[in-house]
Structure 1
Amino acid sequence: MSAVIDPSHGAPAPQPNCESESAWRELLSGAPTRALAFGPGGRIDRAAFEGDVRALAARLPQARHAVNLCEDRYRFLVALCAVAVRGQINLLPPSRAPAIVDDVLGRYPESYCVGDLELEPVPPRYLRLQQALPPLAGEPLRVDDEALLAIGFTSGSTGQPKPNLKTWGGFRTSTAQNLAALAGLLRADGVTEVVATVPPQHMYGMEMSVLLPLLGPVAVHAQRPFFPGDVARALADAATPPLLVTTPVHLRALVESQIELPPLAGIVSATAPLSQELAQTAERRYGCEVREVFGSTETCVFARRRTAQELAWTPLPGVRVCPQPDGTAIHAAHLPEAVVLADLMEVDADGRFHVRGRAADLLEIAGKRASLGDLTRKLLAIDGVDDGAVFQLDEADAFGVRRIAALAVAPSLSEAQILAALRQSVDPVFLPRPLKKVAALPRNDTGKLPRDALEAMLRAQT
């Protein structure tokens, strides 16, 4: 890949400082010949990858931060590590939307953008990767474990995206936990090949499709397949049964497409609650375990469950889940301090826990209680509703009660029919008004529904 910049702006990769030698570690794990990525063009081993990283690192501009916008997963990996080797910090916005990229650049003025697509409009200070650079030989790449690798941002589904700082050392610890979370799905005698449908900029995608191949016995598909046919073709590129890393939205699309998939080592799901019905259907159809993991941008993955057979979550080794009045505190070895999530959790005597919703999702009207999550589940359970979401509006009525609204994708039903079906299981005070039919919900790359996008769509329908 070539960077469209003046080569004179580049600089050689920094070398370890002998005064802090103990903090420096080899960037990658495994032998030089172990596979790190694969795809239609074949396999890429650690030695070839390091050659690509050195080549790009020598050509990056001087800066403090780099906004990594690469779509191709291999190019993302190369850019991520080249930025780190140069002593810079990767910025990972939740999307490539111009307003979001501009917001990140505004927060971190000493930064540039690096990507592999022809974007319109072109982001400020955009360095586009185009074609292969001659690889550079050298010693194994090393990084400071205490250095910041990346700043990830929450998706902004409930407000302004917030930065979350991640170090190499923290990621090494959390990756060891993730390897434990995937025990039984990974090969015991070699490298497990992974195909991921989630973007690498998202923390779940970062953990499962970037850090695992860098720090574990995993090789990842170079591309990011999206549609069912693309996913099937990517899975077919694997030499051994691969692990599919995906989301409930993508998994449902695969199941409903009836497309044939090659044998799988397993399926991993996250970013939104996975229904037990969908997990059971996927296990029957694809003949493998569907394992759901629980985490957030703030915490990384910290629990797992086999959703088809259990509803309780099992914390990963070294994780403690501590309920408190305003949410739940998560303690883990990779976190410098406990992180308090808005999720309300109930911990069993054996340490496993159940998620009971979020404080912000709880509704109390006329002395009655419900939750937005439960109302959404009841909407989705209606025969003929393909997708839907129930949410609460900011504005209140004359009595000071904030209205409940819903959007539904239901081609064969009318809005009146959907409401009539909801009346069978929902108390009248919690019926969404307005309820509007739409062609599709405004889901982002990971299947989440940003609140501002839901409200904008609702306004457009009225």
Structure 2
Amino acid sequence: MVAFAALLVRGQTNLLPPSRAAHAVDAALTANPGSYALGDAALDPAPPHYLHFTPVAGSAGSGATMLVADAAVAAMGYTSGSTGVPRANPKRWDKLAISSGHNDALLRALAGGDYHVVATVPPQHMYGLEFSILLSLFGHAAVHAGRPFFAADIAAALAELPAPRILVTTPVHLRALLDSGQALPPFAGIVSATAPLAVELASEAEARFGVPLQEVFGSTETCVIAHRRTAHEDAWTPYAGVALHPQPDGTRVEAPQLAQPVVLADIVELLGDGRFRLCGRNADLLEIAGKRASLGDLTHKLLAVPGVRDGVVFQLDDTDAMGIRRIAALAVAPGLSVTAILDALRGDIDPVFLPRPLKLVESLPRSETGKLPRAALLEALARDQGPGTGDR
């Protein structure tokens, strides 16, 4: 947060690569000539363009108010690469102030006033930036300085903050937290994003911890634009001023924090009360042999198979002898065989949409935020094609 603010007052832009992997950082630096990396770790050998600083405890600033120009490009957010190559999206300071105001109002409603945040998502991801760094810079929220990963770390971080506390997390972290059985100190609510949250998982979390869970919807391009209490409703409530316009290639989004409308690949159904339902993504829609399905729905059915703890269905780039792009899947299912999973899927999925191949893996190649970059999925599928793969 210190480095983020320091760059702002110097009129510089924070680059937010899709991950902390060396290749992702190098790509962001290469795409922005004259850029550099800043960190508090003493790296040996230090990579090119790396500046090391050592925070001084108890040091005091000049006391002068540090101002940031409204039109300043405060950050350059990169998409995750889950649908291809990461893309850069500039974020103006005044527009971030608007979106942060909406997020702050949502968390205030959960906490009943001022609140304190523990976030398990890294701040270079737009969701992490919005619900950690920016809440502190624009509002009265206090955010825990650490980024806890394991269940015991989350419990310790919550205990270090005064009430009311809010946990900002992802479905992957939430699943691990529930499976651990870790007891948590009292807190006011949960916020989740980065991947679709299953109703069953949301309901289990609310029942276990006795707090409401709000799932937020947005993108790197738009920031968060809507929310819902997933355990109790399937429709999303847009933030104030957000307007959605369905079109053939997705949905055009108009919002106060956008300088111009943005078209997302998400397909929505508008409801009469101003809310909307997500119906998949334009790129997820499949049509094979005159039949239609969506990758999102196929993934949901894979996850519904008893014993499947995690999984994803995706389409390959190569085609078969009929010129059709094959459908593949990765599944984490200890104790199950590929045959057992395919047999279970046959009851819910048309045979033309059964994943071939389906590969069993120990874990999905998720990023720090729970995303599944397409390149990582293809690499995992290609690795060790053997007994754990079904293609029948």
- Matched residue, 1:254: 177
1:107 partner amino acid: A
- Matched residue, 1:427: 350
User: Structure 2: which 5+ runs fail to align?
Assistant: 386-392
Deviation at 1:117, TM superposition (A): 3.3
Aligned 8 A contact 1:442 1:453 in 2: yes
Aligned 8 A contact 2:40 2:55 in 1: no
- Matched residue, 2:123: 200
2:350 partner amino acid: D
- Matched residue, 2:389: none
Aligned 8 A contact 2:244 2:254 in 1: yes
- Matched residue, 1:85: 9
Deviation at 1:415, TM superposition (A): 1.1
Aligned 8 A contact 2:226 2:237 in 1: yes
What is the DSSP-based 3-state SS (H/G/I as helix, E as strand, rest coil) of the residue aligned with 1:408? strand
Cα-to-partner distance string for 1:374-414 (whole Å, 9 max, x where unaligned): 11111111111111111000000111100000111111111
1:278 partner amino acid: L
Does residue 339 in structure 1 map to residue 262 in structure 2?
yes
- Matched residue, 1:102: 26
Deviation at 1:135, TM superposition (A): 2.7
Alignment of 1:61-80 (within 5 A): 77-80=1-4
- Matched residue, 2:283: 360
Deviation at 1:167, TM superposition (A): 1.1
2:15 partner amino acid: L
Deviation at 1:240, TM superposition (A): 1.0
Q: Distance between the aligned counterparts of 2:2 and 2:155, measured in 1?
A: 25
For residue 144 of structure 1, the aligned residue among 39, 59, 69 is 69
Deviation at 1:433, TM superposition (A): 0.7
2:19 partner amino acid: S
Q: Distance between the aligned counterparts of 1:408 and 1:195, measured in 2?
A: 30
2:189 partner amino acid: G
- Matched residue, 2:82: 157
Cα-to-partner distance string for 1:290-329 (whole Å, 9 max, x where unaligned): 0011000000000011111100000011111111111001
What is the DSSP-based 3-state SS (H/G/I as helix, E as strand, rest coil) of the residue aligned with 1:149? strand
Q: Distance between the aligned counterparts of 1:225 and 1:118, measured in 2?
A: 22
Q: Distance between the aligned counterparts of 1:212 and 1:233, measured in 2?
A: 21
Deviation at 1:131, TM superposition (A): 3.7
Q: Return 361-370 or 193-202, whichever deviates more.
A: 361-370
- Matched residue, 1:301: 224
User: Structure 1: which 5+ runs fail to align?
Assistant: 1-76
Q: Distance between the aligned counterparts of 2:258 and 2:43, measured in 1?
A: 35
Number of matched pairs: 384
Percent sequence identity is 60
For residue 38 of structure 2, the aligned residue among 90, 114, 121 is 114
Cα-to-partner distance string for 1:252-283 (whole Å, 9 max, x where unaligned): 11111111011111000011111111111111
Alignment of 1:305-344 (within 5 A): 305-344=228-267
Does residue 224 in structure 1 map to residue 123 in structure 2?
no
- Matched residue, 2:294: 371
Does residue 167 in structure 1 map to residue 92 in structure 2?
yes
User: Superposition RMSD on alpha carbons, in Å?
Assistant: 1.3
- Matched residue, 1:178: 103
2:351 partner amino acid: P
Q: Distance between the aligned counterparts of 2:133 and 2:237, measured in 1?
A: 24
Q: For residues 131 and 78 of structure 1, do their structure 2 counterparts lie closer, same or farther at Cα, with a shift above 3 Å needed?
A: closer
Q: Distance between the aligned counterparts of 1:120 and 1:431, measured in 2?
A: 49
What is the DSSP-based 3-state SS (H/G/I as helix, E as strand, rest coil) of the residue aligned with 1:394? strand
Does residue 392 in structure 1 map to residue 315 in structure 2?
yes
Q: Distance between the aligned counterparts of 2:186 and 2:70, measured in 1?
A: 38
Q: Distance between the aligned counterparts of 2:140 and 2:192, measured in 1?
A: 20
2:137 partner amino acid: L
Deviation at 1:184, TM superposition (A): 1.8
What is the DSSP-based 3-state SS (H/G/I as helix, E as strand, rest coil) of the residue aligned with 2:312? strand
Aligned 8 A contact 2:333 2:360 in 1: yes
Q: Distance between the aligned counterparts of 2:287 and 2:257, measured in 1?
A: 37
Cα-to-partner distance string for 1:318-369 (whole Å, 9 max, x where unaligned): 1111111110011111100111000000101111000000111111111111
Deviation at 1:179, TM superposition (A): 2.1
Does residue 408 in structure 1 map to residue 319 in structure 2?
no
Q: For residues 182 and 427 of structure 1, do their structure 2 counterparts lie closer, same or farther at Cα, with a shift above 3 Å needed?
A: same
Aligned 8 A contact 2:171 2:195 in 1: yes
Q: Distance between the aligned counterparts of 2:364 and 2:54, measured in 1?
A: 34
Q: Distance between the aligned counterparts of 2:43 and 2:327, measured in 1?
A: 38
**Larger Rg belongs to:** 1
What is the DSSP-based 3-state SS (H/G/I as helix, E as strand, rest coil) of the residue aligned with 2:277? strand
Does residue 132 in structure 1 map to residue 67 in structure 2?
no
1:267 partner amino acid: I
Q: Distance between the aligned counterparts of 1:121 and 1:224, measured in 2?
A: 25
What is the DSSP-based 3-state SS (H/G/I as helix, E as strand, rest coil) of the residue aligned with 2:109? coil
- Matched residue, 2:193: 270
Q: Distance between the aligned counterparts of 2:272 and 2:90, measured in 1?
A: 33
Aligned 8 A contact 1:194 1:220 in 2: yes
Q: Distance between the aligned counterparts of 1:186 and 1:169, measured in 2?
A: 26
2:22 partner amino acid: P
1:135 partner amino acid: A
- Matched residue, 1:287: 210
What is the DSSP-based 3-state SS (H/G/I as helix, E as strand, rest coil) of the residue aligned with 2:244? strand
Q: For residues 124 and 384 of structure 1, do their structure 2 counterparts lie closer, same or farther at Cα, with a shift above 3 Å needed?
A: same
Q: Distance between the aligned counterparts of 2:22 and 2:64, measured in 1?
A: 38
Cα-to-partner distance string for 1:208-266 (whole Å, 9 max, x where unaligned): 10111111121000000011111111011111131000011111111111110111110
Deviation at 1:181, TM superposition (A): 2.8
What is the DSSP-based 3-state SS (H/G/I as helix, E as strand, rest coil) of the residue aligned with 1:200? coil
